[in-house]
Amino acid sequence: MRQSSGRKLTMHKKQQLIGWFFLIPATALIFWLSFYPMIRALMISFQGGRPTALQWSDPLTRNYQFLMKDTVFKTSLKNTFTYLIIQVPIMLVLAMIFATLLNDHQLKFKGVFRTCIFLPCATALVAYSLIFRTMFAYDGMINSVLMKIGILNEPINWLNNPGTAKAVIIIALIWRWTGYNMIFYLSSMQSIDYAIYEAARIDGAGAATQLFKITIPLLKPIILVTAIMSTNGTLQLFDESVNLTKGGPANATITMSHYIYNTMFQNNPNFGYAAAMSFVILILVAVLSAIQMKVGDKRE
Amino acid sequence: MKKLISMLLALVLVLGCAAFAEAGEQADGKLTIWCWDKTFNIAAMEKAKEMYQADHPDVEIDIEEVLSEDIESRVIASNGDTSTLPDILLVQDHSIQKFVTNYPEVYHDITDEFDFSDFMPAKLGLSVVDGRNYGVPFDSGTVVAAWRTDYLEQAGYTVADLTDIDWDRFLEIGRDVKEKTGMPMLSGQAGAVDTVLIMLQSCGGSMFNEDGTANLAGNEKLKAVIDTYNTMVAEGIFIEVNSWDEYIGTLSNGSVVGTINGCWILSTIMSLADQAGKWDITNMPAMVGVDGATNYSNNGGSTWAVVNNKDIDLALDFLQMYRNVDFYDAILPATSAIATFTPAKDAPNYTAASDFFNGTPIFATIVEFGDSVPAEVTSPFYYDARGNVGTAVTNALNGGDLDSELQTAQDTTEFTMGF
């Protein structure tokens, strides 16, 4: 007895140690590839100067102070929130409608419809952005179709007008992401017992009542998840702004991430300022998610 | 347990070896070169490689196609560590100041190791930072106006009517041509301001003062240029498209009468075999009512940079090719790359007539234009200012007040410079 507790480990402790040993590689990788860069980025956001010879800013919050005076950053912030406020609700409502339609037990060829709506999510972001750019070009498909059927008399330069360019980005986003959110709704709808709907129908509940009184309350947690994910994704929007409109015309569609990219790679490289801006996005995502959690999650 | 430890050890060994192998990549008798544009820079480099290897058969030269933006991103991502970079890379003339200032670790100072005599002074100046040379000049971006003679003929004009004119006369012709053929004279990328800056340099203007400060607000030359440009766009004489591909598209599918751009655009035009004999070139219109207005300007052009901690001696020996008249003569017909090495002007191909351009000796003409291009002031913040001018031009076009838009551009540029 004494011998085993002194020198040799008990079976249980030994197993625990081996467990920790297996965790080391993953933990080390996460620290090295995720936490270390985050801490470095935070440090860089307080630094300035030439990229290969960064120095602490004086005062330390100089980059953050500049942020307040940066008109392009304000424009990008405004654009990003425009996308967020218009696109996310439309997309989630559409996803909910599609999911409800596809959840109908009498519907035929369900698999085909489901695939069609989900397929956009399988396309690469750059590829679909380029296709949308071609479609909405001055001599592109959209203009020629609208002119053929007589809606337009002369082509619209979609991507060269601040309003329509924003609209094109929002349309593209809705096309790309609605199916993705629909799959979440659909899968959790399928876990709702069909007997509940049958009982409701016997009690005289119509389709709308079923949707608002049964489906949506039961889907609340998943709606919350999709709302947070979409908000998060929209705040970090990059590919569409870069590839579809190049942020133009006159920065009317530039997003925050795109401006950060420009600060690093297009303009005179300014690592410290770019890092500071990305921390602003981090804070915005955290705050918005916290609000949504507070509002949406009423579980006791 | 033992097995696991030995596997981990093996992994560490392999990784360690790989790290070692990467470190010792200096004088290895092999050159890697990054550049872009298959019909132009790459074609020229292939020729240089062929001619160099004729004398140095054991030197291995690897030319990789990397887009200009990608070269710039990779230099930034390298953060001064040159092990991931090639021996020689191509730099846009207006990027050199920015990159050498920010990454002196990457770009080798070749002032004392290369003979810079006989290069065009204006071109050479672009790659000089603090009095030191950081690049071997390659092509000139002398601006040409290339016109479709068949379209002009339909409207009753010839290229002679578009030679040595000013923008007022150009607008008259443009309106007339548009009325008779329905076609715009020019096309360009919206917000990219290539044309605006071409016009600005043609009258000796710049976005910067001699002391390096931004010169946008109250810059009378710039204002006059933007006014002229926006008039063209508003009247449909200049059609704005959204991407570079669409711009090339307007030329290849013949939906514009012509283009005004750096002479490197001719390599693209000459690749449109079905349009042979339909083009001719001349000089660009001059600004009206502006001091120092000329019919000549410059756009684009690039320079070869040598990367530090690589096989520098070999790279410099290879780049001697860019002091070789025979080389420039050999690449000219296919690439239309106009040398900035002055002795090349006397090479036989420079005076030859071009069939594609109705027998005009285009290269001799371009070289002649090049002598009259006004000098330009550039800055490490060139692309920042350029982007801000693009915003101002677009906003003014959509009804904004040009003075206040230029003031915003000035403030935004000064904001970036103030870091």
Q: Give B218-259 pLDDT, tens digit per residue.
A: 999 999 999 999 999 999 999 988 888 889 999 999 999 999
- Whether A250 has its CB under 8 Å from any CB of chain B: the answer is yes
Q: How far is CA B205 from the centre of its chain?
A: 18
Token readout for A34 is 């995720």
Token readout for B396 is 């003014």
- Mean pLDDT confidence for B264-275: 89
Burial (CB < 10 A; 0-12, 13-18, 19+), residue A116, is exposed
For residue B308, list chain A residues with Cβ-Cβ distance below 8 A: none
User: Residues A133-156, buried b or exposed e (16+ Cβ, 10 A)?
Assistant: bbebbbebebbeeeeeeeeeeeee
- Mean pLDDT confidence for A29-39: 94
Beta strands in A67-169 (DSSP E): none
Burial (CB < 10 A; 0-12, 13-18, 19+), residue A253, is buried
Q: Give B190-207 pLDDT, tens digit per residue.
A: 888 999 999 999 999 999
- Predicted confidence at residue A154, as pLDDT, reads 81
Instruction: Answer positive or negative: Cα dihedral of B185, A251, B227, B379.
Output: negative
The answer to whether B419 contacts A270, with C-beta atoms less than 8 Å apart, is yes
Strand A55-56 vs strand A47-48: parallel, antiparallel, or unpaired?
A: antiparallel
Rg (CA), chain B: 24
- Mean pLDDT confidence for A15-29: 91
Is residue B18 predicted with pLDDT exceeding 60?
no
Which amino acid is it at A126? V
Token readout for B358 is 């109705």
Which amino acid is it at B188? G
The answer to whether A270 contacts B390, with C-beta atoms less than 8 Å apart, is no
* DSSP, res A253: S
Is-contact A44 A275, C-beta < 8 A?
A: yes
CATH architecture of B143-297+375-417: 3-Layer(aba) Sandwich (3.40)
β-pair partners for B302: B92
Q: Give A247-272 pLDDT, tens digit per residue.
A: 878 889 999 999 999 998 888 888 99
Kindly indicate the confidence band of residue A152, based on its pLDDT and cuts at 50, 70 and 90: confident
Nearest residue to B417 (alpha-carbon basis) of B98, B100, B130, B194: B98
Please tell us whether the domain made up of B27-140+300-346 is placed in CATH 3.40.190.10.
Answer: yes
Mean pLDDT of chain B: 88
- Whether A159 has its CB under 8 Å from any CB of chain B: the answer is yes
List alpha helices for B93-191, DSSP H: 96-102, 121-126, 149-154, 167-181
Mean pLDDT of chain A: 87
Strand B143-148 vs strand B30-35: parallel, antiparallel, or unpaired?
A: unpaired
B96's CB contacts (< 8 A; 6+ apart) are B126, B127, B129, B134, B135, B303, B305
**What does the domain layout of chain B look like in residue ranges?**
27-140+300-346, 143-297+375-417
Q: How far does the CA of residue B206 sit from the closest CA of chain A (Å)?
A: 18
CATH architecture of A71-296: Orthogonal Bundle (1.10)
B72 closest CB neighbour out of A66, A245, A265: A265
Sheet holding B136-137, edge to edge: B60-65, B30-35, B88-92, B302-306, B136-137
Q: Give B337-346 pLDDT, tens digit per residue.
A: 888 888 888 8
CA distances from B87 to A13, B38, B57 (A): 56, 19, 18
Kindly indicate the confidence band of residue B10, based on its pLDDT and cuts at 50, 70 and 90: low
- Mean pLDDT confidence for A187-216: 87
- Predicted confidence at residue B60, as pLDDT, reads 92
Q: How far does the CA of residue B183 sit from the closest CA of chain A (Å)?
A: 14
- Whether B361 has its CB under 8 Å from any CB of chain A: the answer is no
The rounded percent of chain B whose pLDDT value lies above 90 is 58
The answer to whether B191 contacts A133, with C-beta atoms less than 8 Å apart, is no
Nearest residue to A222 (alpha-carbon basis) of A266, A255, A261, A191: A191
Q: How far does the CA of residue B107 sit from the closest CA of chain A (Å)?
A: 13
- Predicted confidence at residue B7, as pLDDT, reads 54
A249's CB contacts (< 8 A; 6+ apart) are A159, A160, A161, A162, A165, B190, B191, B394, B398
- Whether B128 has its CB under 8 Å from any CB of chain A: the answer is no
- Whether A52 has its CB under 8 Å from any CB of chain B: the answer is yes
Nearest residue to B99 (alpha-carbon basis) of B120, B121, B80: B80
Q: Of B21-25, B208-212, B286-290, B338-342, give the lowest mean pLDDT range.
A: B21-25
- Predicted confidence at residue B3, as pLDDT, reads 56
- Mean pLDDT confidence for A21-32: 93
Token readout for B300 is 């684009």
Residue matched to tokens 């790279």 = B315
